[in-house]
Amino acid sequence: MDLRILSQSDLSAIMQIETALFGSEAWSEETMSSELITPHSYYIGVFDPSLVGYAGLRLAPADFAADVLTIGVAASKQGKGIGRRLMDALLLHAKRQGAEQVFLEVKESNASAISLYKSLGFEQIDLRKRYYQPSGENAVVMKLVIQQPIVLGIESSCDETGVGIVRGNRLLANALHSSMTEHAKYGGVVPEVAARAHLEALSPTLGQALLDAGIKIEQVDAIAVANGPGLAGALMVGIGAAKGLAVATNKPIYAVNHLVGHIGADVLEKGSVELPTIALLVSGGHTSLLLVRDLLDDVVLLGETIDDAAGEAFDKVARLLGLPYPGGPQIDKQAATGDPKAIKFPRGLMLPKDLAEHKYNFSFSGLKTAVARYVEKAELEGTEISKADVAASFREAVIDVLLTKAIWACEEYKIPRLLLGGGVVANARLRDEAQRRCDAAGIELRIPRFSLCTDNGAMIAALGAQLVMAGRKPSGLGFGAESTLSVTTIQTP
Ligand code: KG4
Ligand code: ZN
C-alpha cells in the first residue's frame, strides 16, 4: 500500500469512495476539487493499487491550528488500519507545519472513528447537536494538542549578539545586543571588536531571552546556532556558547545557515513561510538574491554582490559625505529633502553586456566611486554640493538595481512572491518602492517586522525549529565557523 499526496487527477477516484460512503451528505465534486487546491490544504490517499482511502487537512497558520476536514476509507477496505495510517500522515504534516492544535468533527454514532481519534490523543471538547444534514446527527468535536519543540537560537555572525527562543513557529523571545556604536569610530564593523563584544554580551543576552520567554534553559528542546556565513571570529563566539550549552544541558544542537535564517524569520510572522519565494537579503554584510522552493532542502543562490554589500555602500557613501556610521539612516535623513533625479549615478551590472554573466549579481563599488568623483570634482572646483541631492540620487540608484533584479527573478522563475530581509530594509524608500513595483507586477511582497529583518537570534531559532519539526538529525559537535558558507548548506551536519 502506497501513501501519496492527492491531486486533481485523483478526483474521480475520491468521489467514488466519497459518494459510496456518505450518500446524500457527500461533498460535491466541485467542493472536493476546490478543496484539493485551496492554500494550506493537504490531501493524501492510500493506494492498493487504486485509491482505497483519502483524508484532508487544512492549516490555519496564523492560529497555529489545523482542521481535519475529511477522511474516508472504502467500505471493503475498512478495519485494515488504513484510517490510522491516513491520520498519522495528516498529524505528522500538521506537526511539521507548526500546528499546536488539531480539530475535527465526527458523527456521534461512529464509535470506531472516535476510538481511533482518542487513541491518537484527541479529546472531546464539544457536542454539536444536529450538525450533520440531512440526517440530523450530532457531531462530536475533538481536539488534539501538539507540543511543538522549544528551540533557542544564537546569532553572532556580525555585530549583533542575538538570542531568540521559539516554540515551533511561535516567537517567544528575541533578545539582542548590538556592538554597532563600538564600531562607529572606525566607520565600519571591526571583526576583533565584534568578537570581543559578543563574548561580553552573550551571557546577558541569553539571560534576557530566557526571562522574556518565561522559561528555564532545561525546558529548551534544542539549541540552534548560525555557523556561517559571517565573520569567523564573531561566529566562533556564538558557536562556542551554543556547544557549551548543548553539552552542559544535554540538548541536541543544529548548526544553521545565517542567510537561510533570514528567510526562516518569516515563519514567525504568519505561522508559516509562504513558498516558493524569491528572497532579497540586503544588509551591511550581504546582498543576495535567492530562489527558495523549500526552506530546508531547496535554496538556490541566483546572485550576490561581487564587491560591496548594499549596506556597506550606504556606509561608505555616508563617510564620503562626512556623515557618521552606520550610513544607511544618515543617507536616508539627507535624502528626504533631496532630488533623486538630480545626479545620474551609474546602475551596476545593468548593461546588456553585463547581463549575460551577471543578470542577478550586484556591484556597488562603481557607484561608490562615482559618488567619490562627484564630491572630489565639486571640491576641486570649489562648488558647494547638495548632500541631500547626492544622498537621494545614490539611494535611488541602489534601490533601482536591487528591485529591478529582484522582480526579474520573480518573473523569470514565475514566482509571484518576494521576501525582503536584512538591515537595509529599514530604508522606507526601499520598502515603498518595492511595494509599488510589486503591486504593478502582481507580486506579493513580504517584509517581516524590522526586528526580524536585521540580524537576530529568533530567525536562527525558527530555522532550527523547522529542522527539529521535520525530524532532521542534529549536527555533530565537530562543526566550526564557515565564513563563506554557501546557502545550499542549510544545516551543517
Ligand atoms: O542587517 P544589519 O543590521 O547588520 C549587518 O549587516 O550585519 O544591517 C546593517 C546595515 C548597515 O550597513 C546600515 O547602513 C544599513 O543596514 N541600514 C540602512 C538603513 N538602516 C540601516 N541602509 C539604508 N537605509 C537605512 N535606513
Ligand atoms: Zn544578516
Which ligand is closest to the CA of 260, given by its number? 2
Separation of alpha carbons 247 and 374, rounded Å:
56
Write down the pLDDT at residue 69: 96
* Matching residue, cell 556610521: 325
Cell numbers standing for residue 261: 535564517
Separation of alpha carbons 189 and 471, rounded Å:
37
Write down the pLDDT at residue 204: 97
332 lines ligand 1 (CB under 6 A): yes
Amino acid identity for residue 423 in this structure: G
Residue 230 CB partners (closer than 8 Å, separation 6+): 156, 157, 158, 258, 285, 481, 483
Ligand 1 atom nearest the C-alpha of 158 is 7
Write down the pLDDT at residue 220: 98
Write down the pLDDT at residue 350: 95
Measured from the Cβ of residue 138, the count of other Cβ atoms closer than 10 Å reads 15
* Residue located nearest, by CA, to atom 5 of ligand 1: 284
Q: What is the pLDDT of residues 359-416, one digit of tens each?
A: 999 999 999 999 999 999 999 999 999 999 999 999 999 999 999 999 999 999 999 9
CA of 223 to the centre of ligand 1 (A): 27
Write down the pLDDT at residue 116: 96
- CA-nearest of 161, 234, 233 to 201 is 161
Q: What is the pLDDT of residues 24-59, one digit of tens each?
A: 889 999 999 999 999 999 999 999 999 999 999 999
Ligand 1 atom nearest the C-alpha of 327 is 14
Burial class (CB in 10 A: 0-12, 13-18, 19+), 29: middle
Would you give the DSSP letter of residue 179?
-
Which ligand is closest to the CA of 279, given by its number? 2
Query: Over its length of 493 residues, how does the chain's per-residue pLDDT go in tens digits?
Result: 899 999 999 999 999 999 999 988 899 999 999 999 999 999 999 999 999 999 999 999 999 999 999 999 999 999 999 999 999 999 999 999 999 999 999 999 999 999 999 999 999 999 999 999 888 999 999 999 999 999 999 999 998 999 999 999 999 999 999 888 888 888 788 898 889 999 999 999 999 999 999 999 999 999 999 999 999 999 999 999 999 999 999 999 999 999 999 999 999 998 988 899 999 999 888 899 999 999 999 999 999 999 999 999 999 999 999 999 889 999 999 999 999 999 999 999 999 999 999 999 999 999 999 999 999 999 999 999 999 999 999 999 999 999 999 999 999 999 999 999 998 998 999 999 999 999 999 999 999 999 999 999 999 999 999 999 999 999 999 999 999 999 999 999 9
421 lines ligand 1 (CB under 6 A): no
pTM of the model: 0.93
Is there a contact between 260 and 230 (Cβ–Cβ < 8 Å)? no
Is there a contact between 200 and 235 (Cβ–Cβ < 8 Å)? no
Amino acid identity for residue 124 in this structure: Q
Separation of alpha carbons 228 and 225, rounded Å:
9
Supply φ then ψ for residue 344, to 5 degrees: -90, 90
Write down the pLDDT at residue 179: 84
* Continuous H helices in 321-456: 327-335, 352-358, 365-381, 387-412, 428-441, 450-453
158 lines ligand 1 (CB under 6 A): yes
Which ligand is closest to the CA of 422, given by its number? 1
CA of 22 to the centre of ligand 2 (A): 53
- What are the distances in angstroms from CA 162 to CA 155, 235, 456, 473? 5, 12, 5, 24
* Matching residue, cell 570581543: 196
400-410 in b/e burial notation, b at 16+ Cβ within 10 A? Answer: bbbbebbbbbb
56 lines ligand 1 (CB under 6 A): no
Question: What are the strands, taking DSSP E only, across 85-241?
Answer: 101-107, 123-128, 139-145, 150-155, 160-167, 170-178, 222-228
* Residue located nearest, by CA, to atom 23 of ligand 1: 328
Q: Tell me the sheet residues that pair with 76.
A: none
389 lines ligand 1 (CB under 6 A): no
